[in-house]
Structure 1
Amino acid sequence: MPQFQENGDELFAVWNGYSLLTEGETRGWTFWSPYYGGGVERSELVYWMQTNGRWQIIQPYFEHPPLAHVMVGAAAWLGGAEHWSHGRQKHTRLVPIALSVLIMGLMFLVGRELDQRQSLAPWLGVLLYAALPLFVINNRAIKEEMVVVPLELLSMWLFLRWRRGVRADAPRDALIVLAGLSAGLAVLAKIPSGVFVPALVLLVMTTGRWKSAVKVGLAGLVGIALLLTYGAVMDWQQFTLTTFKQATGRPAHWNIFPRFFADGMLVHNITFHAHQLFLWLAALTHFGGRGRRVDPAWVVFPTCYLIVIAVSSGNWTFGWYMLPVYPFLCLAAGQFLVSLWREPSPLAGLIFMGLLVMYFGNFFETPRAMKSSIHWPRLRTWISAFVLFAIGPYFLATVRRWRWTQTVARTATALGLVLVVGLSGWYVYHYDVLYESHWNFDRDRYFDR
């Protein structure tokens, strides 16, 4: 399963993409080889020592759509691979890294359209996305979401530009058609992202432009039609059989949603739940402001996607599943930080300092050391001092709204943000060590109870 080194759960996308580009055939690794019966050809790839060094490969392979796979397959070919199994992550991970840069640019464009205060909020939202380990590490994984997210954000930006024209009584329907096309093409990377098409139709309907909503729906169907055409050309029977298995073959229960709010995951490593909580609380604090009506453009895309991925995945949840939701949470968190700067408050300060900043302290000690009573007095001293100097200024600014108390609270916010960026970089740089020492840190009952 995905780690920071070579692994088949990322490279299977390379194997499939390289095969499509060079042979015109699909090929990939599967858990479900017996399910496909005689409809597939089987082979074994002996690779490393994971899964006893043997990977079950099937042809044809339809467990994931082809768009993201073709991109990383091309990177492997350009990197000198002469066989579908020769791709290496030093070449193929350049694709998600490049896409993450594109994502940040699109995030800024979307954030600027959504920001009614014309503040630094879009910049701060992008800064969080660029720095926090939740995104830096998950964005390095070769996963289909890295193609879904830029198409999602492009669709949203085009919609917002179109809506601005509607409000100025100068709509440009070409923009909304392109938005629908972008939303529809996302299904070529990951099937659950097809929900962006009806979500976009819903957003257009909020403007009362019914004809435009129909155009969006028709444009979005182009991507779905392309996926169905791909399946028909390759092997329709196996395509439909595989799609049904992907949709129904995972565990189902009633507790599918809480994990997306409470559990941070670095690929498979259950860590950074405090940052996950910060993003949600910051977003909800912004949306729930006094007398504030929430623009549906903030919530429709991420909410629809979260519902679909939760229902379809059951308890097979991985860190990259949240990637299409995170850009909107980061942009909302940017709005939260601007509000915290303008009007310092103890609760907002606690959310910022107690969740986003303070959590990094866990990685300067080993879990074993923190469990030892010998270290408790020292830890309590440091923690008490941090709480006093990091959160205390927000109480001071609330009790006496003098200029100097506001300045002290704002200075605390600025220093906290500098710490977040710096410590995020430190964590990512040392992840090869922290991966081992703090594996599934948030599942340790000592720290989780």
Structure 2
Amino acid sequence: MPPTRVPAAPVLAAALALIGALTGVLTAAPALADFNDYPPNAPDQTPAFRNQTRAPVIPQALRLARTPLVEGLRDPWGMALLPDGSLLLTEKPGAMRIYRDGRLSAPLKGLPKVDARGQGGLLDVAVAADFASTRQVWFSFSEPRGNGENGTAVGTGRLSPDGTALEEMRVIFRQQPGIGSQHHFGSRLVFGGDGYLYVTTGERGMPADMPVAQDLGNHLGKVLRIDPATGKAAPGNPFTDGKAQPEIWSYGHRNIQAAALDPQGRLWTVEHGPRGGDELNRPQAGRNYGWPIISYGENYDGNPIDGGLTARQGMEQPVYYWDPVIAPSGMVFYRGDMFPEWRGDALIGGLRAEAVVRLKIEGDRVTGEQRLAQGIGRVRDIEVAPDGALLVLIDGDPGALIRLTRRGAQP
């Protein structure tokens, strides 16, 4: 029989307690720091208002049961819940599959070729409210453009009756211009209550001295709002002068990989910062969210970004920011029954945090933060199952789909 390994932390605690007992002084084991105890990368920056960062920690009141549903996925990225409770899942190398009744389908036929280098590939997937009758599916991907260039694109197709293919597939939107980069494609897809489609993009990793996210002549570092049938600008978009790209809803973003509608039907996004400066925003029409002119973060080499400014006239403050980063990806506002205490709260995937990040939001301000299922792995996307359980995609190759429930609930 192999020797039993005892974890080092309990051994250290027992040794300290024994020494304390022998000396007449009880010495406690070092306490684990919570997430607000870690120092910021940019310590000289200060928030613009109370609870803009490091909101009070919500006490951990329950333990979650984790049930693996699918293992061995190849870099899973996005998922969409279908009316019958099944899921559409994407894998970054280019596969879309259906998870239904404990089984994972073969890759659907009819998907386009993707540029899966770096952060590119097959990304998000979404369905509209009328999916039950139309079977229409939308997806985002990094489209190869030739000469090493690529761009975030949106395609659509109809799920075949037997669920094996996307039929009548067509690309309805292409980010302009094409870029020779493997970074920061965005890209989340969210249907607004009016039926138009929000598309988030990244600034493609361009350095801060090339402020493409501030340039209204391109689609980089923007929230876009398009007609899901044609890919054209949706009516009511703010820029109609013929100089700006008409699909733009808001600008000055870095790399948005989390987006969702709140219970009031309003769009919220979470974007990656550099070292520090991940941001929660509520993008509004025509507004400038600052990147790279203002940021609550710093360059990867430790130098300030554009002099370290965190505010400027005409640029919006984030509702909330993180330093150190959580590396956000995927977002929902909880509406289920399994966790009534979470209703209306934002749940955000944390790649770096390796947790589901819960934010309590009251009056458009964050009043508390909690990390759920810490150590679960790099959380890439989140959905709420029909029974209120959380469905979590874990990034990586192999990646996984995991179900989170209240301990004691039926799996």
TM tier, smaller:
under 0.3
| Normalised TM-score (structure 2) | 0.26
**Structure (1/2) with the larger strand percentage:** 2
Higher helix share: 1
